[in-house]
A = this chain, B = another copy of it.
Amino acid sequence: MKKNILIIPGDGIGQEVTTWGKQVLETVAQAYGHDFSFDEAIMGHTAIEATGNPLPDETLEKAKASDAILFGAIGHAKYDNDPSAKVRPEQGLLKIRKELGLYANLRPILLFDELLDASSLKPEVLRGTDILFFRELTGDVYFGEKKRNEDNSFASDLMNYHRYEVERIARKAYDAARTRNKRLCSVDKANVLETSRLWREVVQEIAKEYSDVETEHMFIDNAAMQLVKNPKKFDVVLTANLFGDILTDEASQIAGSMGMLASASIGDGTGFFEPIHGSAHDIAGQNKANPLASILSAALMLDIAFGLQEEAKAVTNAVAETLKAGWRTGDIANAETAAHNILGTNEMGAKVLS
Contacts and interface: CB of A to CB of B under 8 A. Distances in A.
B201 A152 contact: yes
Interface in A117-174: 120-122, 125, 141-142, 144, 146-148, 152-164
A147 B159 CA distance: 10
Contact of A152 (B80, B198, B246): B198
Contact of A155 (B125, B164, B198): B198
Task: State the oligomeric state as a number of copies.
Answer: 2
B193 A141 contact: yes
A194 B120 contact: no
B222 A83 contact: no
A270 interface: no
Contact of A192 (B94, B147, B222): B94
Interface string A68-108: 00000001000111011000101000100000000000000
A221 B192 contact: no
Nearest to A160: B156
Contacts of A258: 225
A196 B146 CA distance: 11
Contacts of A191: 75, 79-80, 88, 90
Interface string A211-226: 0000001011110110
A230 B83 contact: no
A192 B229 CA distance: 29
Contact of A195 (B157, B195, B200, B253): B157
A208 B189 CA distance: 35
A157 B193 contact: yes
Interface string A242-255: 10011111101100
A158 B79 CA distance: 25
A152 B199 CA distance: 11
A342 B340 CA distance: 47
Interface of A: 75, 79-81, 83-84, 88, 90, 94, 120-122, 125, 141-142, 144, 146-148, 152-164, 189-201, 204, 217, 219-222, 224-225, 227-230, 242, 245-250, 252-253, 258, 278
Given A156-B158, A225-B250, 5 more contacts: A80-B191, A90-B192, A154-B160, A157-B158, A224-B224
17 contacts: A80-B190, A84-B197, A90-B192, A121-B228, A141-B192, A141-B193, A148-B194, A156-B161, A158-B159, A220-B245, A221-B250, A222-B278, A224-B246, A224-B249, A225-B250, A228-B253, A250-B250
